[in-house]
Chain A
Amino acid sequence: MKQGRFAWIVPALYILFLMTPIYWLVAMSFKTNLEITTRFTLFPEAFTLDNYAKVFGDERWRSVFANSLMYVSLNTVISILVALPAAYAFSRYRFFGDKHLFFWLLTNRMAPVAVFTLPFFQLYSAFGLFDTHIAVALAHCLFNVPLAVWILEGFMSGVPREIDETAYIDGYSFPAFFVKIFIPMIASGIGVAAFFCFMFSWVEYLIADALSRNAVVPITTRLQALSQASGTDWGVLAAAGTLTLIPGAIVIWFVRNYIAKGFALGRV
């Protein structure tokens, strides 16, 4: 079928629709508070970097970014390390209840996050983990490990079992095979799984907020707190908001070629 001359209009409108809020946030971050609160302008009239200077100059802002990056990275590493062997087992072995367990892993993701805040708060307090990076990282595993297992299982099942066997026949032990041959073969899957873990943990607010007080203030908590207080510094908030988009954008850039396969959970 010949494509119509105006076939570009619908996707263009759609992209415009998607990009508008992001553009608005970025544009706001370069405006003064006066301009933001008094006029409706498409482009910053008095272009300023003051908002960014304030964010970078403020120790509290720097520390919330560091905090978030810290527990998000921890969580991503833990999730992938735990999910790799689990996904391998689901992909390669048949065991009692494997299908139910696999499904049950996913149902964890269906529960609202808020349900878990109270038990988490009590549990982590009891173990003296409250207000630590590892607490938030572990709590996020509840959602990220199942997701990572699900994604990795799809990628692993795409690798023929004969590859495993050939490696054993060649004389590789299981650990050597897993690290030297198997992991490189599913590297894109690991990238995609890491991306999803990273993004979930980065944007998650409820649990991170519930498990932190002073030492570990997540970026989401601070953004939320500032927007509710009276006399909001809109420009600074927009600048900080823009900065929170960057890690995600960077991760997306790295996995851009696999992301479609990742959304299909490797089953393409």
Chain B
Amino acid sequence: MLELRDVSRRVSGVDHLSGISIRLERGALNVLLGPTRAGKTSLIRLMAGLDRPSAGSVLFDGQDVTGRPVSKRNVAMVYQQFVNYPGWTVRENIASPLKVRGTAPAEIEREVKRAADLLRLRELLDRRPAELSGGQQQRVAIARALVKKAGLILLDEPLANLDYKLREDLRAELPRLFADSAAVVVYATTEPAEALLLDGVTVAMHEGKVVQAGPTQSLYREPQDLATARIFSDPPINTIPAAAAANPARFAGATTLAVRAHHIRLQPRSASPDVYVTQVESIEINGSESFVRLDVRGQHWVMLARGIHAFAPGTSLTVYVEPEDVMQFDAAGQAIRPRREAA
């Protein structure tokens, strides 16, 4: 178990991380979710021991490892960039952590083969990283992290630099790869969809702080505050001041209302939805879905509609929002009575 106690990091007067206290369990996939510059990488580097916290302590399995240098810790890490030793073959790259540890050559060979099979690198063992595609290079880095059997495995946006198809493939494989490792696995990402697909536990981060941590599904469905709701929405969550809502009486006490893009509908679902008459600003079609940008009483909303729609910009469009899909927040941005979503 990895525990951070009130950890902060200040670099030349700027707070990169402040007051972070979280506990991450073994066996679960822990996702750090947040936009760029939220402090995910800073936090990961701190967990690895590459950087030292300015204040607070890092505990691993109850032991304080705050000041312990990275080479003395039992961690593995995969970077967003594909980092491998360029002069070494794939085999030597994967074997590297075992070799340092002084593992017997026969066992190294066995472990490297096993990892290579898992990551479909068997045919590439004698190549050098430069001769591989980006996806293969990143798989080498992941294999190196796997063979070490470290207690803490850190993945810092490992799929961000891959193209779409490779990302999908590798993302589907990742939970399986780390499923039987008894390690604390930490996975940083900017994409809410990735957090949902990986399931497990999500730590939502914003401006160097943890805004909410908990099981991924509950974070998604019941964000504690507007910041978490924003972080956990792609396309961005749609907001409107409660006073400007279609039916303000329904949301007494709330200051801001928020609704996800796919909860804005072209047809009502219930007998008494909130009805908004909007102006179409633009439309983007990705093949099976349409992203419709709307002007709703001065607010800019995005509606995600199934199928292909051809609304001309400037035309008027009536949309429906079911009250149970609406998230309510008070003046401080705290959630009021979080509601269950209908899938």
Contact = CB atoms under 8 A, between A and B. Distances in A.
Contacts of A160: 81, 83
Interface in B145-173: 148
B50 interface: yes
B43 interface: no
B71 A169 contact: yes
B71 A162 contact: no
A7 B83 CA distance: 44
A185 interface: yes
Contact of A171 (B50, B79, B97): B97
B100 interface: yes
Contact of A172 (B71, B75, B77): B71
Contacts of B96: 167, 170
A170 B81 contact: no
A185 B87 contact: yes
A5 B199 CA distance: 67
Contacts of A163: 83, 85
Nearest to B95: A170
B76 A185 contact: no
Chain B, interface size category, equals: 20 to 34
Contacts of A169: 48, 50, 70-71, 75-77, 97
Interface in B55-73: 69-71
Interface in A128-186: 160, 162-163, 165-173, 176, 181, 184-185
A170 B87 contact: no
B58 to A, nearest CB: 15
B206 interface: no
A170 B88 CA distance: 14
Contacts of A168: 50, 69-71
Chain A, interface size category, equals: 10 to 19
Nearest to B80: A162
B314 interface: no
A172 B88 CA distance: 15
A235 B8 CA distance: 76
Contacts of B48: 165, 169
Interface string A176-205: 100001001100000000000000000000
Contact of A176 (B69, B87, B100): B100
Nearest to A163: B83
B95 to A, nearest CB: 10
| Most interface-central of A165, A166, A167, A170 (chain B CB within 10 A) | A170
Given A168-B50, A168-B69, A169-B71, A162 B81 contact: yes
B215 interface: no
Interface of A: 160, 162-163, 165-173, 176, 181, 184-185
15 contacts: A160-B83, A162-B81, A165-B48, A165-B50, A165-B70, A165-B77, A166-B77, A166-B79, A168-B50, A169-B50, A169-B77, A170-B100, A171-B97, A184-B87, A185-B86
Interface of B: 48, 50, 69-71, 75-77, 79, 81, 83-87, 96-97, 100-101, 144, 148
